Structures are given as structure tokens and as C-alpha cells.
Amino acid sequence: MSDTPAANRSQAAQAETPDTIGAFPRLSDEQIAVLLVRGQRRTLTDGEVLIQPGEHPSSLYVVLEGHLLTADTELAADPRHSDEPLAVEVHGRGRFVGDVGLLEGQPSFVFVSAIGAAEVVEVPVDELEAIVTSDPLLGEIILRAYLIRRSLAIGAGAGLRIVGSCFSPQTRDLLDFIARNRLPHRLVDLDEDEKAERLVRQLGATVADFPLVILGGSRTVLGATPARLAEELGMRPPAPPATCDVVVVGAGPAGLAAAVYAASDGLSVYLCDAVATGGQAGTSAKIENYLGFPAGISGTELADRSLLQVRKFGATLDIPTTVREVVEDEDRFRVIFEDGREVTSDVVVLATGVRYRSLPAAGLDRFQTSNVFYAATAQEARMCVDTPVAVVGGGNSAGQAALFLARTSSRVHLVVRAADLGAGMSRYLVDQIQHHPRINVLLSSEVVEAHGDNHLEAVTVRHGDVLEKLRVEHMFVFVGAAPATTGLKVDVARDPDGYILTGAEAELAGARTEGSPRFSLETTIPGVFAIGDVRHGSVRRMTSAVGEGASVVRQIHEYLNEGRHSRVCA
């Protein structure tokens, strides 16, 4: 960037220090040679721009000679952010630029240019995908760095700028979508941020334009919704396929596993979710009891890695999109979406998971859009820095959230209805929580009232006949779960709580064609399967959900091979 001020270049040069572990590895000459086979050399002039914020980069760039500068969107000559701090890095020989968005088809959230004359290896993204999914050493180095960089960007509040009110349900929905899809961002709160008024004047925005999203440079999405933003970012396919073998509804661990195994078997797969990949597992800060990851793995990393496998095997992913109805159409199914689009398929797999219930505490409704959360991600943690919070629930999700929030919150009150913390929580979490100095565990307790004017200020907790008032500014709720099938019309049998019946239990609940076999994961409609937490009798463990996702593919093959369908696939 030829007009970068000298002070900024000096600041950036300080980044060329010993590598930050994982995030900025330096590739060896042998690894660079592998990339040269996959790509081509490119010579750059001083200030030559490789990537602009908001653009979809098409290649990986690795430095051979000279230096590349990367900067957050503020450095891209945007006067609306001129008073914000610059986040810059300089990359010398062997280093590469970008983050996991390059592999997921997302636009760049940074500005990349040459400092002085430079030479790079330019590797097309399809070649990069092949390396990441086939080279266990080089691919893992690049992917790991990309995942760490995205996490750092989220924690720093880089990337997108969302302008809206924290009291607006539309803004909250948008923030939830952005956070669950692991997009770096920062909220410019119309009610709290002193820069908001000036920014609104510069944009010439009206009330109807909020929430709005600044993508970088001069690109702005007015009246942003999750679907509109996803389309603007290029995260959705232009149109669903007319027909396919399998439609998987829900992209949590069960749905992702079903999509990966089905697509790897050669079936055409359409995977959709109303919010994001990863499901509830995707909001977990650290999963320590998942087989094969002794040091633990974050839900976000697991979701990102699974998403790359979905892409690797050619399944179509569409997020956010909501299924409104599944209709039997002779020997196939019409899957009808909320926006009116349709996909015809041979098989439908329901993997919509569950949603946490809200608390019936008095006065809590006033804070649902501003201070009450049902997931603990980096977005929420950033809002809770140095403030006291309450986590309500006695399961693993509540325990993981309490430990994650205790890293940055001044105090975490874990409110548990049970008399024993181990009644619903894994022992490894119990041990960590009991020894954490910033976590206060309240057993045999429940939140009965919320207090505050514009923001949550305190909650009243009842222990038997004793009431205690706790000062908290945010609350995280992980109590009770309901199947996430609200609004989904599909005529399958369910238990009294709404969970979908499968296998022998489904056979007892619904009439079947005489002589027709019953698969263990099939519902009362032949060809419609249910897996994961939405299924009655589910173990409610991530490992089990992944296992059901794999198992259902075998049953789908058996169902299709019975000859009951004349399969027509696009």
C-alpha cells in the first residue's frame, strides 16, 4: 500500500518477531517447494494490493522474497474508521496470509499489500483445498494457522461492523447469526457507542436501515438480516439443486456427519440449517471428552473442520435457510423452504437438534435481547470482560460455559437446581469448576427474578426458603431443552415432549405398509429419518450424534436399494 504512513509501517515491522505459536508459522523451503508445484510465482511492486476487504480472494499467497502487510479493514482508506486502532501484521519469507474464510468461500476481512518489491507463491484455492484435505503435515500447518487467526480476529473485534441497537431483536438475531458462523465483527451500538451518531450521519442512514453491516471499503448492507448478509458474503449457493438423493435438515454434529458420509459414498447431498454449522456443540469453548482429542477441541474448530469435509466431498451447504414443510410426493419428497424454494429428494434426514428453554424468572423478559444468552462464544465473552455473570444449568454445556467465561469475567455464579453438581455434569468439568477461584457454585438453587433499568444489574436466587441477590450484568441459560422443530411441518410421530419417534417405537406409533421393514433411525414416514438430539431416546452426546450420522447413511443405502424408489438425481 504505497500511501501507508511511515509510522504505520514502523508499527507493522515490529510484528516481524519470533513466530506467534500456531498463528504465524514459517514454512520450510521443502514445504514452499510443494506449494510451487501447485501454484506459480508472482512478482509484486511496492504497494501493490493483493486483497481488498469484502473481496473474495481466489488464492493463497506465500512470501518468497520481501514482505506482505495485512491490516484490518480500517487501514483500507475508510474515513468512517479513521480513529480506530490499526491491527497490522508484516509477513516475511515463508509466511502466508489469510484465514479459514478462504477455504469456506467467505470474503476477506483484511487488506493485503506488498511492502517494497516482493515475490510470492500464488496457489489457487482449489489447489489449497486439495493440500489441506490430503497433506497431513503441510495441510494441518495451514489449516491450524487459519483457524487460530480467525479466533484471534473474533476476539479482537476485527472484520465486520454491525451498526444497531443491542435492544433490537433484529440486531440480536443478526449478531447471533454472525457469532454462530464464526465471522469476526464488532457492534457499534446506537445506544452506547459515542461513534455511532457520527457514523450514522456519514452513511445517511434512516431508522429503516438498521441494523446495517459495513463489510469493508464502501460496501454496506442496509436493513441487514442473516439471509441477506449471507447472500452478500457469498455464503449461500445461488439456488438449491432441483433434485438430490438426500436432504439433511440441520448442520449440527449429527447432520454434518450424515452429509459427509453420504457424500463420500457418492450420494448427492443438500445440507441446510437455519443458523450455522456446529449446532450446540459449535458453541462449546472446549470439548475435552471427544475421542481422539486428548487436549480437547473447541466447538468452533470442530465445526470448521467438518465444514471443510462437507465441501471436500461435494455436498451442497445452504445457511441460513429454514425448512417449512416436508411433503410426500409419490415416491419422493418435496422439501419446501420458508422463502418458497423447493428441493425434491429421495430421502430426508431430520437433524435439527434442540434449543434451550427460557427461564420463567420475573422481569427477565426485559433483558432477553440485551443481556440473556443461550450460548457462550467469543462474542459474548467479549461483552462480559471484567463483569460478573450468572450461568444457569447443571449439564455439560453450562459447565463448559462457566469455565470459558471465567477466563475473562470477574465472577461467574453457576446456579444449579440439583443438590449435586455431578448429577448432570461430567466429572472432568466438575473437578475444574470446584477448583476455579472465580466460579461460585450455588446448588439446590434457581433464579426467580431479574433486576435492572436499561440493563440487567442483579438476579435473585432462591435456595430453599432463602433468597439471595447477586450482582450480575449478563445471564447465560442452559436449562431444559425442547426439540428444534417449531414451524417445521412434517407428519411424523412424536413423543409427548415433541421428540421424533424412530425405529421400533415409531412402528408402534404409526401404521406401516405390510411387510415393510423398519430401520432403527427411520420415522413413521418411510424414507424420512431422524438423528441426533431431536430423536426420542437420543443419548445427547456429541459422539453419539456423529455415530448416528454415520449409521443413518447405511440405512439410507438399504432403503434406496430396496427398489421402492425410481431414483432421479440432478
Per-residue model confidence (pLDDT) at position 77: 40
CA–CA separation, 161 and 149 (whole Å): 18
pTM for the model stands at 0.87
Percent of residues, the chain, with pLDDT higher than 90 = 66
Q: Which comes out higher in pLDDT, residue 29 or 155? A: 29
Per-residue model confidence (pLDDT) at position 480: 82
Rg over CA atoms, the chain: 25
Other Cβ atoms less than 10 A from the Cβ of 49: the count is 14
pLDDT of 81 > 90? The answer is no
Q: Which of 121-135, 221-235, 278-292 has the lowest mean pLDDT?
A: 278-292
pLDDT of 524 > 80? The answer is yes
pLDDT of 322-379, one tens digit each?
999 999 998 899 999 999 999 999 999 999 999 988 999 999 999 998 899 999 988 7
pLDDT of 8 > 50? The answer is no
Could you tell me the pLDDT band of residue 288, with boundaries at 50, 70 and 90? confident
CA–CA separation, 341 and 323 (whole Å): 9
Could you tell me the pLDDT band of residue 294, with boundaries at 50, 70 and 90? confident
268, 246 Cβ separation under 8 angstroms:
yes
Percent of residues, the chain, with pLDDT higher than 70 = 91
390, 476 Cβ separation under 8 angstroms:
yes
Q: DSSP assignment, residue 501?
A: P
Structural domains in the chain, CATH included, are 4-156 (2.60.120.10), 160-224 (3.40.30), 243-355+482-569 (3.50.50.60), 364-479 (3.50.50.60)
Per-residue model confidence (pLDDT) at position 568: 39
Cα distances (angstroms) measured from residue 50 to each of 23, 105, 108, 111, 236 = 20, 17, 11, 8, 25
pLDDT of 505 > 50? The answer is yes
pLDDT of 164-200, one tens digit each?
998 899 999 999 999 999 999 988 989 888 788 888 8
pLDDT of 209-232, one tens digit each?
999 999 876 688 999 999 999 999
Q: Which of 206-210, 377-381, 386-390 has the lowest mean pLDDT?
A: 377-381
